[in-house]
Structure 1
């Protein structure tokens, strides 16, 4: 048995001017293409509330006081009762309760910084929040029940490492905003409009009448400059070290010990095995023989194939051993950090780990 709890919001003929809303969107979304997609994304909520797009929005601003809270307040009024404003995303990810999201078509986060040194802590939980078709609603007081997920996400942050993203992410569309705040007089006029029911109604009607025939809710968000910056900022030092190994280690094979030394910033104990496996796998490396030990320079090691997997995955152990030993050449005593540093310089890459 299922129940449709959505009730269409009645909109009356609008006479109020919606230009302040559109002008502020233009200010916050300076790229014309991204702005048009965002407006259609909002209009899609009004016109097809039960159809969940495959992505949410992450808006990163270099300055505070730009009026994003005003935009959030307008949207909370346009779909009053169907919006979860001021969501504490870290607390929500940590909690077993998700009642505030029940029956919502839009959730908004004021500020978040969940990427960085432990980006995978709640990554899977976040994925399920964004685009799971169905979810279990677990209110703090009351019974659990299953609900169709129609909740879009609009996240505001002043940090590029706002969310735990990886290079294959297709759940977030990212834009950045670097303009200085508008004049105090402008914000005074904007905030006065929040109490104008005719203005709120006019914004809702404008979204209802917008042509969204070209909008694709299943589109994969583009990897633009803003998203590249967010992807890079959300990576931990371990992830960045793994990418350096794949790009610059002077042989196609590396031992577990050498990889652990580099990824542990000079100490084999500086990185956990699980974190190392995850980072190397995400960087494109594969473990030889599912962890089968290979004797390299007289010591047994598990080995990782960093590049040319088609060549090395089926190689004999002695071939893996030879390739693994090749990185040091005649300098068997060199540390893994020194080997990688020399290789990076030879390749013209002087970026830090």
Structure 2
């Protein structure tokens, strides 16, 4: 027997520390429990109450504030399940479903095209069929929550619909905080025997990729399936041509206005299909005013006596139908009749997908979502025995050299066998000239400093006007939670296109697998907290480089475009460490005062009307002074963050450097001189820094070691240039000596120590 502990530990293995709610309905009680403790909690609770126990299937980041939790409380999905009511001894409840054994239920669900279950729980009077995710789907945004809800409803809804067609009813359970009977508990019902809730099957290696389940469109599998659309006499199938071939689709849609040459070419294609004469007449009748049965018969005979079927060379060059040359499949075939000779399932496969040779992933041509080979095979396995092999062996399959992010280019870029797949999708929102005062007013409220606000608007305008150009700096918005920062990103998702904006929480910054954050226009990390110097430096390549090597689970490393722009938010000034000479972040102070709910509701209500106008305003904005490759501006907030990021010693030295006090009145000096200066004249009371420690501090503050240099005839010293580095690197020994020697021993700079050669 499979223990509840084994069942729950495998279910929640990848969401440690998360919470579920253990509930009873009569009396109504709800107890939050960490997933690691759920098995023991069920055992304990079952011994205390004579009531049925239920546990939420999805998990929460923290205990819900009320009841069993709401959809907005759910933080991750670990899978989806189906609930099949049954009666005694595994039989369906009388009057609700036909009698079926568990094996018959399993056979039914598989015959509906559903995948093999990861686990089956006997709930006492029914069964739960679970389909677990290989990795939990983390819900980090409203967009994620909508995706999760749609997935659950679509998957469960499909099963309900198809089972209903077989006369079997399934329970509707497609909501996020849904509870299910707890394994290891007892099923209590009035006037009926108490029955245990037990795990009858557990397959921990049988898990499914979330994207594959989302994309999965099951279809019933027949054991006696025939090749759909294959001509019995081998003739091309008109239905395949009419559904997939661009020239014939054009001719059907424009039948009444076709030229004679276009009509004659299409007639020849129709006439050469299976049942060609009948189909040719049907096609000709689309132009009822010009149709003549006798004349059409005559033309069919004439076209069949021609030297052969019409080719794409004739369609493109002689008939001027250039669209065929750009069509992904037509451009690779000799004649439209070739469409009618293809296996319809393989045709569908190669039309809907592109394989990326660089990353080893498949891309759906319509949605541009990426899937691994195993997910691809699962998605299409109900239609083809070996989808990957069928795709690989098809001469029509597009095998792209790589996927890239190329705004303004076609979906496939480049000629030859292996083009480049362009992942950019233009925004669907059309700019319209008009009033956007509400939105601009929000920026004025949210970013009080005028220069900061102008920089942010220039940054956004640049992304609209030049979507393919990399901005080599990032925006960091700091301010209290709830002041409207996140609403800015909602706007940007609409005006830049939702597929071009990726919003993540900061806890995934250092995750190993980062492919999901490439090939987008804007990447946003929300709620930045505790980002140390190492992690901050790790972001450098993402902000400044055009490409980066990344991996996804199950792939090799591959090059991908970094986001064209990056933004971060935080509620805390000390959320990130910024070095003194940091050039990548523009730190933007946002409003300290949070407005009432009516303000934000009014702002959201304005989006439908004002966002098209805001997009137009951004498109027309003059941004000639904005330099996408220049360092970020030194804002007041950035200066404060940098000071907080410095060690006490570095802060002490920085103050003296900026004031040009003491040894820093000169352009050059030694690390040992700076140590003496700090100890004697800055009142440093902690342990005396070593020369090596001070050298690190100087480097952090922008000074540079220019090496051991001769100082006229006074010996040598290992010098640091405190500023004007290039000047002092090229200075003569006389110039260095004049700058280095002590001056004004009784004036303001008397704190400069005597000249002496030093080793550091």
**Superposition TM-score, scaled by structure 1 size:** 0.67
How far apart in 2 are the matches of 1:72 and 1:107? 10
Structure 1 residues 190, 86: CA separation in 2 closer, same or farther (over 3 Å shift)? farther
How far apart in 1 are the matches of 2:663 and 2:520? 52
Pair 1:108 & 2:524 matched: yes
Deviations 1:208-264 (A, max 9, x none): 633345253234433232332233223232421443565556698566598499699
Q: 2:593 maps to which residue?
A: 180
Q: 2:481 maps to which residue?
A: 64
How far apart in 1 are the matches of 2:469 and 2:618? 15
- Which of 605, 613, 620 pairs up with 1:210? 620
For 1:187, what is the secondary structure of its paired residue? helix
Q: Kindly indicate which of the two structures has a greater share of residues assigned to strand.
A: 2
Q: How does 1:252-271 map to 2 (within 5 A)?
A: 259=675, 266-267=686-687
How far apart in 2 are the matches of 1:305 and 1:230? 26
Does the 8 A contact of 1:130 with 1:152 survive in 2? yes
Q: 2:647 maps to which residue?
A: 236
For 1:43, what is the secondary structure of its paired residue? helix
Does the 8 A contact of 2:527 with 2:570 survive in 1? yes
Q: How does 1:320-331 map to 2 (within 5 A)?
A: none
- Which of 25, 34, 40 pairs up with 2:443? 25
How far apart in 2 are the matches of 1:181 and 1:343? 50
Does the 8 A contact of 2:550 with 2:560 survive in 1? yes
For 2:499, what is the secondary structure of its paired residue? coil
Structure 1 residues 112, 260: CA separation in 2 closer, same or farther (over 3 Å shift)? farther
Pair 1:136 & 2:556 matched: no
How far apart in 1 are the matches of 2:690 and 2:486? 40
* Higher relative contact order, chain-length normalized (CA < 8 Å, sep 6+): 1
Pair 1:145 & 2:558 matched: yes
- Which of 483, 489, 492 pairs up with 1:75? 492
Structure 1 residues 161, 303: CA separation in 2 closer, same or farther (over 3 Å shift)? farther
Deviations 1:45-86 (A, max 9, x none): 22321101222212222x332111222233234421221213
Pair 1:190 & 2:606 matched: no
How far apart in 2 are the matches of 1:271 and 1:72? 48
How far apart in 2 are the matches of 1:288 and 1:17? 57
Shift of 1:146: 0.9
Does the 8 A contact of 1:87 with 1:107 survive in 2? no
Deviations 1:245-285 (A, max 9, x none): 655566985665984996996235x8895x64322223355
For 2:488, what is the secondary structure of its paired residue? helix
**Superposition TM-score, scaled by structure 2 size:** 0.34
For structure 2, list consecutive stretches of 5 or more residues without a partner in the other structure: 1-400, 402-419, 710-716, 753-760
For 2:505, what is the secondary structure of its paired residue? coil
How far apart in 1 are the matches of 2:675 and 2:635? 31
Compare CA radii of gyration and give the structure with the larger one.
2
| Superposition CA RMSD, Å | 4.4
- Which of 544, 563, 568 pairs up with 1:155? 568
Shift of 1:145: 1.7
How far apart in 1 are the matches of 2:514 and 2:468? 19
Q: How does 1:295-306 map to 2 (within 5 A)?
A: 305=720
Moved more, 7-16 or 248-257: 248-257
Deviations 1:278-310 (A, max 9, x none): 22223355568569xxxxxxxxxx977586995
Q: 1:45 maps to which residue?
A: 463
Aligned length: 306
Does the 8 A contact of 1:49 with 1:150 survive in 2? no
Pair 1:11 & 2:422 matched: no
For 2:422, what is the secondary structure of its paired residue? coil
Shift of 1:141: 3.9
Shift of 1:140: 3.0
Q: How does 1:82-121 map to 2 (within 5 A)?
A: 82-88=500-506, 91-92=508-509, 94-114=510-530, 119=533, 121=534
- Which of 695, 700, 703 pairs up with 1:282? 700
Deviations 1:85-139 (A, max 9, x none): 1331x642x3332123122111112222456xx53x2343221111212111222
Deviations 1:21-65 (A, max 9, x none): 22211211223343333223213222321101222212222x332
Does the 8 A contact of 1:134 with 1:146 survive in 2? yes
How far apart in 1 are the matches of 2:635 and 2:518? 33
